[in-house]
Amino acid sequence: MLELRPDCECCGKDLSPDSTKAMICTFECTFCRDCVETKLFNVCPNCGGGFEPRPVRPSREHRKDAFLGKRPGSTVRKHRTIDLEEHAEFARKLKDIPPHLR
């Protein structure tokens, strides 16, 4: 089950479970769309993979227990300082390769 982390690891912006701006890699590294597009070049600084929009968990109970009220998002914030110069160097050789070929 997705953790639904509460913030962007790069800029610290809040990413609530219903946010349409949250992006994740396969390891659930979580960033806002702005950072993914303008600072990370769709390259995860932790694994080198690409990002996809994070699905939104239903806020209402359509099926038993399968909703935010029973399965809330994480409250553990992951914001940290990312060295964007180092990342640009890391991303330079990856950003032009489609994620499914990295």
Closest CB 66 distance from Zn ion, rounded Å: 26
Tell me which residue of 79, 81, 61, 82 sits closest to 15, measured CA to CA. Answer: 79
User: Applying CB under 5 A, does 46 fall inside the site for Zn ion?
Assistant: yes
The CA distance from 6 to 13, in Å, is: 9
User: Applying CB under 5 A, does 15 fall inside the site for Zn ion?
Assistant: no
Say if CB 4 and CB 56 are below 8 A apart: no
Q: 97: Cβ–Cβ under 8 A, 6 or more apart, which residues?
A: none
Residue whose CB is less far from Zn ion, 25 or 57:
25
Number of residues near Zn ion (by CB under 5 A) = 12
User: Applying CB under 5 A, does 27 fall inside the site for Zn ion?
Assistant: yes
Closest CB 17 distance from Zn ion, rounded Å: 16
